[in-house]
């Protein structure tokens, strides 16, 4: 790993990533890239260019994609990996990570979140504030688990899915890829069809 960190995205999600990175005390310096040319600094951290400039900094910086949109985050991270970028894992010191938990590159674990033993979280995932993921879960690449989401044991979440704030997934269930689970929804059976699911119990709309 390098001594400098570059975060793509200087808005909401990127700022939280930067805040965690500062608390980790691992990098000597941190900078942002952002496509909004009106943003010169964020949290007192300098914006040194646009997102497309990231490839100029591959040798100098660790690079983290601090963009909340799953599809955009995946597209950028895949390009960075193809160019040989060093992509870190960002973990808040106040997160609880169990034994034999595997985390993919480019994933952020936010404050107060819990990941229990024997769970695998893929590349480019967001485990947001106060989310809990119990034992033996499989979270595939580029999933966003929002604040306050609760996953019981032995749950599988497919690639690119988004679980809205406060949603709940019962144990031993599978959710297919590219799904959107609405805020507060409760999933009590497998979801095999891509789509948006709302309500208690969750239903497709």
Helix (H) or strand (E) holding 150: strand 150-151
Contacts for 140 with CB less than 8 Å, ≥ 6 apart:
122, 156, 157, 158, 159, 160, 161, 177
Helix (H, G, I), strand (E, B) or coil at 17: helix
SS3 for 23-64 is HHCCCCEEEEECCCCCCCEECCEEECCCHHHHHHHCCCCEEE
Let me know if 13 is a catalytic residue. Answer: no
Q: Which two tokens stand for residue 144?
A: 């966003």
Q: Which two tokens stand for residue 189?
A: 């059976």
From residue 191, alpha-carbon distances to 21, 158, 161, 172, 182 in Å are 35, 10, 11, 12, 13
CA–CA separation, 199 and 205 (whole Å): 10
Computed on alpha carbons and rounded to an integer, the radius of gyration of the chain in Å comes to 17
Catalytic hit among 13, 135, 144, 150: 135
What residues are labeled active site?
135
């Amino acid at each position: 790993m390098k001594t400098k960190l570059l975060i793509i995205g200087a808005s909401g999600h990127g700022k939280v990533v930067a805040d965690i990175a500062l608390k980790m005390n691992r990098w000597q310096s941190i900078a942002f890239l952002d496509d909004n040319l009106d943003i010169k600094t964020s949290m007192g951290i300098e914006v040194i260019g646009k997102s497309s400039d990231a490839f100029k900094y591959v040798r100098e910086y660790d690079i983290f994609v601090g963009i909340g949109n799953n599809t955009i985050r995946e597209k950028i991270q895949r390009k960075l990996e193809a160019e040989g970028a060093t992509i870190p894992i960002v973990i808040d010191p106040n997160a609880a990570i169990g034994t034999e938990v595997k985390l993919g590159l480019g994933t952020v674990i936010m404050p107060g979140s819990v990941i229990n033993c024997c769970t695998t979280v893929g590349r480019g995932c967001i485990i947001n504030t106060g989310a809990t993921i119990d034992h033996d879960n499989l979270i595939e690449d580029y999933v966003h688990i929002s604040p306050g989401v609760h996953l019981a044991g032995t749950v599988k979440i497919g690639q690119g899915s988004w679980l809205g704030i406060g949603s709940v997934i019962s144990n031993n269930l599978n959710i297919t890829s590219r799904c959107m689970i609405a805020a507060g929804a409760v999933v009590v059976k497998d979801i095999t069809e891509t789509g948006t699911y709302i309500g208690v119990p969750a239903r497709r709309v």
